[in-house]
Structure 1
Amino acid sequence: MAEVDAVDSADDELLTIGAFAARARLSAKALRLYDRLGLLSPAHVDEVSGYRYYRADQVERARLVALLRQLDMPLARVAEVVEADGTDAAELLAAYWTDVETRIAGQRTLAEYLRARLSGRSSEMYGKFVVETVEVPEQVLITETRHTLADELPAWIGASLGRLEAAAEECGGVSGAPFVVYHSEVSMESDGPAEACVPVADEAAARAWAAGQGRARQTAVRVEPARTLAYTRITKAQVAHPQILAAFEAVERWVAAEGLRYAGPCREVYFADWGAAGAGDPVCDVAFPVEEAQSQ
Structure 2
Amino acid sequence: MAAICDSAGVKREAVQASPKLTIGEFATVTHLSVRTLRRYHEGGLLEPAWVDGYTGYRYYTPEQIPTAQVIHRLRQLDVPLADIESILTADDPQHRAQVISDHLRRLEAELDRTRAAVVSLHRLLNPEPADLEVQLLSVPARTVAGISGHVRQEDSLTWYDSAMAELDAAFPPAEHTGPPGGRYDNELFTHGAGAFAVFRPVRNPKPAGRIRVLELPQADLAVTVHTGRHDDIDVTYGRLGSWVVTHALAVDGPIHETYSVGPRDTTDPAEWRTEIGWPVFRLAAGEPSAQK
Return the alpha-carbon distance in structure 2 between the equivalents of residues 69 and 27 of structure 1: 13
| Identity %, equivalent residues | 20
Letter in 2 for 1:288: W
Residues 66/256 of structure 1: CA separation in 2 closer, same or farther (3 Å cut)? same
Residues 178/32 of structure 1: CA separation in 2 closer, same or farther (3 Å cut)? farther
Return the alpha-carbon distance in structure 1 between the equivalents of residues 122 and 21 of structure 2: 53
What residue is the counterpart of 2:244 in the other structure? Answer: 255
Query: Residue 260 of structure 1 contacts residue 292 of structure 1 at CA under 8 Å; is this kept in 2?
Result: yes
Return the alpha-carbon distance in structure 1 between the equivalents of residues 165 and 220 of structure 2: 26
Return the alpha-carbon distance in structure 2 between the equivalents of residues 5 and 192 of structure 1: 67
Pairing 1:4-15 to 2, within 5 Å after superposition: 8=16
Q: Which runs of 5+ in 1 are unaligned?
A: 45-52, 117-121
Larger Rg: 2
Residues 12/234 of structure 1: CA separation in 2 closer, same or farther (3 Å cut)? same
| 1:143 CA drift (Å) | 0.9
Return the alpha-carbon distance in structure 2 between the equivalents of residues 114 and 149 of structure 1: 23
Residues 12/185 of structure 1: CA separation in 2 closer, same or farther (3 Å cut)? farther
| 1:251 CA drift (Å) | 2.0
Letter in 2 for 1:257: T
Residues 221/14 of structure 1: CA separation in 2 closer, same or farther (3 Å cut)? farther
Q: Could you tell me the TM-score, scaled by structure 2's length?
A: 0.59
Pairing 1:98-177 to 2, within 5 Å after superposition: 99=108, 104-115=114-125, 124=128, 126-145=130-149, 147=151, 153-154=156-157, 156-168=159-171, 173-177=175-179
Pairing 1:20-99 to 2, within 5 Å after superposition: 25=33, 26=36, 28-31=38-41, 35=44, 40=45, 56=61, 57-73=63-79, 99=108
| 1:137 CA drift (Å) | 2.0
Return the alpha-carbon distance in structure 2 between the equivalents of residues 193 and 41 of structure 1: 50
Return the alpha-carbon distance in structure 1 between the equivalents of residues 150 and 250 of structure 2: 27
Instruction: Write out per-residue CA displacement over residues 32-79 of structure 1, whole angstroms, 9 at most, x where no aligned residue.
Output: 55x5xxxx46599xxxxxxxx996333442354235424435665997
Letter in 1 for 2:278: F
What residue is the counterpart of 2:277 in the other structure? Answer: 287
270, 277, 294: which is aligned to 2:259?
270
| 1:241 CA drift (Å) | 1.6
Q: How many residues align?
A: 248
Query: Residue 182 of structure 1 contacts residue 267 of structure 1 at CA under 8 Å; is this kept in 2?
Result: yes
Return the alpha-carbon distance in structure 1 between the equivalents of residues 144 and 269 of structure 2: 32
| 1:281 CA drift (Å) | 3.7
Q: Could you tell me the TM-score, scaled by structure 1's length?
A: 0.58
Return the alpha-carbon distance in structure 2 between the equivalents of residues 249 and 144 of structure 1: 25
Letter in 2 for 1:161: M
Q: RMSD over aligned Cα, in angstroms?
A: 5.1
| 1:163 CA drift (Å) | 1.4
Instruction: Write out per-residue CA displacement over residues 203-240 of structure 1, whole angstroms, 9 at most, x where no aligned residue.
Output: 6x32xx2xxx3xxxx654432211122211232x2x33
Return the alpha-carbon distance in structure 2 between the equivalents of residues 77 and 268 of structure 1: 43
Query: Residue 148 of structure 1 contacts residue 192 of structure 1 at CA under 8 Å; is this kept in 2?
Result: yes
Return the alpha-carbon distance in structure 2 between the equivalents of residues 270 and 5 of structure 1: 73
